[in-house]
């Protein structure tokens, strides 16, 4: 038997598109902050936290209320600052508001999980962002975002709204990956002579881990990183889920089918 085609309202299409983008954005940001904390201690540049601001085009906004871009100020700005529209808590708040608009279309599990997640973020304090505790906060955010993705995959009805969700998620992933490649490498490598050095390899490690691509890269290049096998090649390998062309092609294909 055929299934009657259900019409998707424009406001619902917009809401599901942005709900997916905001959740993906929060997960990406949590991963970047987590990796940045690990690699900042090995960086030659004491202001390396500024790269996170550059990645999100937040330099002007940040310095309008802060004087220095250090670990404490940047993590607070990107996790707890509700006045910052690109912070994790702002992203999940906006995802939750879009989910509220979609309440007739999404499952009870989706709605309940995003509400619990938002309350967890609201309960965080500056103490939770201290260096010993911060990795646990990043892990909580990543796991909650991945739980949302899993619940959505398992319960969301496969009509036009599912395609808009997929487009939003993959476009956000493609956007974040291309920004990451631009900022985290090209603007942070101080000298051409550093290419192939331990510092260069460390930067590529940071890029790959920030994009959740490190283990995928090692599957392809099991001997590790070296200048002839620059991790830039991961953008051209079809099987990498964070690959920008993969993300954009899958999004376009879903909409056209």
Identify whether the C-beta of residue 93 lies closer than 8 Å to the C-beta of residue 26.
no
Token pair of 171, please? 């476009």
Q: How far apart are CA 116 and CA 96, in angstroms?
A: 10
For tokens 């995003």, what's the residue? 114
Please say if the pLDDT value at position 134 is more than 90: yes
> What pLDDT, in 10s, does the model give residues 188-242?
555 666 666 666 666 676 677 666 666 677 677 777 666 545 555 555 554 555 5
- 3 state DSSP class of 236: helix
Instruction: State both tokens at 53.
Output: 């601001």
Give the pLDDT confidence score for residue 119 in this predicted structure: 98
Distance CA 48, CA 55 (A): 12
Task: Give pTM, 2 decimals.
Answer: 0.80
Choice among 121-125, 129-133, 191-195 with the minimum mean pLDDT: 191-195
pLDDT in tens, 28-42: 999 989 888 877 765
pLDDT tens-digit map of 155-186: 999 999 999 999 999 999 888 888 777 766 55
On average, the pLDDT of the chain sits at 81
Residue 250 scores a pLDDT above 80? no
CB 52 within 8 A of CB 176: no
Closest CA to 240 of 177, 184, 149, 152: 177
Question: Encoding tokens for residue 82?
Answer: 């509700």
Alpha carbons within 13 angstroms on the beta-carbon side of residue 61 total 16
Q: How far apart are CA 123 and CA 174, in angstroms?
A: 31
- Which pLDDT belongs to residue 228? 44
**What pLDDT does residue 239 have?**
53
- If you search the block for the tokens 């590529």, which residue do you land on? 204
């Amino acid at each position: 038997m055929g299934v009657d085609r259900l019409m998707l309202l424009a406001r619902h299409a917009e809401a599901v598109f942005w709900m997916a983008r905001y959740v993906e954005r929060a997960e990406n940001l949590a991963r970047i902050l987590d990796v940045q904390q690990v690699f900042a201690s090995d960086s030659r540049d004491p202001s390396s936290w500024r790269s996170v601001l550059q990645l999100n085009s937040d330099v002007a906004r940040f310095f309008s209320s802060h004087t220095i871009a250090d670990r404490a100020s940047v993590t607070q700005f990107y996790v707890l600052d509700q006045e910052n529209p690109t912070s994790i808590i702002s992203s999940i708040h906006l995802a939750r508001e879009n989910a509220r608009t979609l309440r007739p279309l999404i499952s009870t599990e989706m709605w309940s999980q995003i509400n619990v997640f938002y309350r967890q973020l609201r309960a965080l304090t500056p103490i939770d962002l201290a260096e010993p505790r911060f990795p646990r906060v990043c892990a909580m955010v990543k796991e909650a975002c991945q739980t949302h993705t899993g619940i959505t995959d398992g319960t969301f009805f496969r009509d036009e709204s599912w395609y808009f969700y997929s487009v939003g998620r993959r476009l956000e992933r493609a956007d974040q990956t291309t920004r990451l490649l631009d900022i985290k490498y090209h603007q942070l490598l101080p000298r051409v002579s550093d290419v192939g050095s331990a510092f260069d390899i460390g930067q590529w490690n940071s890029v790959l881990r920030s994009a959740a691509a490190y283990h995928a890269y090692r599957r392809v290049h099991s001997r590790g990183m070296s200048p002839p096998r620059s991790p830039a090649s991961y953008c051209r390998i079809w099987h990498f889920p964070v690959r920008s062309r993969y993300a954009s092609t899958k999004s376009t294909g879903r909409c056209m089918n």
